[in-house]
C-alpha cells in the first residue's frame, strides 16, 4: 500500500479578498457520503499572521473545484493576554457522550523565544460553529513539561478521552536570532475531556540527532489496532507512520510506504506536513499541507495497493 498524490486542491490565493493567507491543519467533516460532499476546516492567517478557523466545501468527484468558502471566521484568537491571543491552529474534532469538541493549539508570543503553545477546547455547535469553552487552556506547560504542548489529537473510547500531542522538550539557540524547538509526541488521558492526566508517556520519540520536531498526530483504530500518521522534521518536514496494539507503545514504520515524502517539484517540493486521514466510499484519503507550512495550500492523496 502507498499514497498516490492527486494534487493541490486548495490554493490560499482564494482567500486574498478576505485578507487572509495560508491554509493550515485541515480537518474533514463528511457532509454527504453518497454525494461525496465534504467540509474542510482549516486555519488561515490574517495580516498580523494570527491564525483563525474557517472552512471550505468541495465534492471529491471534482476535487479541484471549491464549492464554498466561509465568509466569516468560526473561531478567532482569544482575548488579550490569554494563551491563544496570537492565533489558533486546529487539532481534532472529537465526538463523545458529553458533546462534540474541538481541540486546538493556542499561540502566544514570548520575549526570549518566538512563541509558547498550549491546548484549548471549544464546543462544536449543531450548525458547525465553534464556541470556546474557557479563556484558559486545558493543557499547558507544567513542572515536568515546562515549555509547550500543541497539536492535540483526541479520540473517545472505553469511557475515556485519549490524547496524543506534541510536547516540547527544549529550545536550542545557536545564534541569538535562531531558535530550534524539539518536540516529541506524548500521551494523556481524561474522563471528561477537560481535566487531563499526564504521566510522561512518550508515544513517538526521536530516532536520531537529525530529528527535532514532531507534530499533528492522526490516530485511527482499525480492527483493534492503532495506526498513526504524523509529521516530523529533519532536514525538512515529511509524514511518518507508526502502529500500536494499545495506543501507548508504538513501532515506527516510516519507510513502509504508508508515510509520505515531498515531491521532486511543485507546491510540495520543500515539505509535506499536518496529515488528516479519512475514509469515503471504501477509499482512504489524506489531506496535508505543502511548502511554507500551509502557504502553498492543501493537497490530497489516495491510498492504493
C-alpha cell, 237: 518536514
SS3 36: coil
pLDDT of residue 1: 85
Q: pLDDT over 70 for what percent of the chain?
A: 99
| Residue-averaged pLDDT of the chain | 95
Q: Of the given ranges (171-175, 191-195, 248-252), which has the lowest mean pLDDT? A: 171-175
The parent domain of residue 28 ranges over: 2-304
For residue 176, is pLDDT > 70?
no
Cβ proximity of 88 and 77 under 8 Å: yes
Residue 139 pairs in a beta bridge with 119
Nearest to 52 by CA among 14, 78, 82: 78
pLDDT of residue 177: 67
Over residues 46-74, the pLDDT tens digits come to 999 999 999 999 999 999 999 999 999 99
Main-chain phi, psi angles of 13, to 5 degrees: -55, -30
Nearest to 216 by CA among 104, 62, 49, 76: 104
Residue 213 pairs in a beta bridge with 183, 233
For residue 175, is pLDDT > 90?
no
CATH of the domain at 74: 2.115.10.20
Q: Report the Cα–Cα distance between both ends of the chain, in Å, rounded.
A: 4
**Count of domains for the chain:** 1
- Rounded to 5°, angle at Cα 183 from 182 and 185: 155
Amino acid at each position: 500500500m502507498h499514497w498516490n498524490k492527486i494534487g493541490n486542491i486548495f490554493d490560499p490565493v482564494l482567500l486574498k479578498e478576505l485578507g487572509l493567507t495560508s491554509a493550515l491543519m485541515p480537518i474533514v467533516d463528511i457532509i454527504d457520503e453518497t454525494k461525496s460532499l465534504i467540509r474542510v476546516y482549516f486555519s488561515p492567517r490574517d495580516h498580523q499572521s494570527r491564525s483563525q478557523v474557517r472552512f471550505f466545501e468541495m465534492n471529491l468527484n471534482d476535487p479541484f473545484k471549491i464549492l464554498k468558502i466561509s465568509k466569516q471566521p468560526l473561531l478567532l484568537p482569544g482575548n488579550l493576554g490569554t494563551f491563544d491571543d496570537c492565533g489558533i491552529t486546529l487539532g481534532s474534532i472529537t465526538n463523545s457522550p458529553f458533546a462534540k469538541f474541538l481541540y486546538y493549539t493556542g499561540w502566544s508570543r514570548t520575549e526570549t523565544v518566538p512563541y509558547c503553545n498550549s491546548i484549548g477546547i471549544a464546543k462544536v455547535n449543531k450548525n458547525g460553529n465553534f464556541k470556546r469553552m474557557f479563556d484558559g487552556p486545558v493543557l499547558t506547560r507544567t513542572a515536568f513539561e515546562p515549555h509547550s504542548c500543541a497539536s492535540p489529537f483526541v479520540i473517545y473510547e472505553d469511557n475515556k478521552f485519549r490524547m496524543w500531542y506534541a510536547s516540547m522538550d527544549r529550545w536550542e539557540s545557536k545564534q541569538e536570532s535562531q531558535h530550534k524547538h524539539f518536540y516529541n509526541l506524548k500521551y494523556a488521558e481524561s474522563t471528561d475531556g477537560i481535566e487531563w492526566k499526564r504521566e510522561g508517556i512518550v508515544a513517538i520519540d526521536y530516532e536520531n540527532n537529525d530529528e527535532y520536531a514532531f507534530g499533528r498526530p492522526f490516530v485511527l483504530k482499525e480492527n483493534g489496532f492503532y495506526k498513526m500518521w504524523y509529521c516530523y522534521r529533519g532536514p525538512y518536514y515529511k509524514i511518518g507512520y507508526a502502529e500500536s496494539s494499545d495506543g501507548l507503545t508504538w513501532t515506527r514504520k516510516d519507510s513502509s510506504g504508508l508515510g509520505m515524502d515531498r515531491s521532486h517539484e511543485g507546491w510540495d517540493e520543500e515539505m509535506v506536513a499536518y496529515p488528516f486521514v479519512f475514509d469515503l466510499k471504501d477509499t482512504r484519503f489524506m489531506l496535508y499541507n505543502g511548502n511554507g507550512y500551509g502557504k502553498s495550500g492543501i493537497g490530497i492523496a489516495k491510498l492504493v495497493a
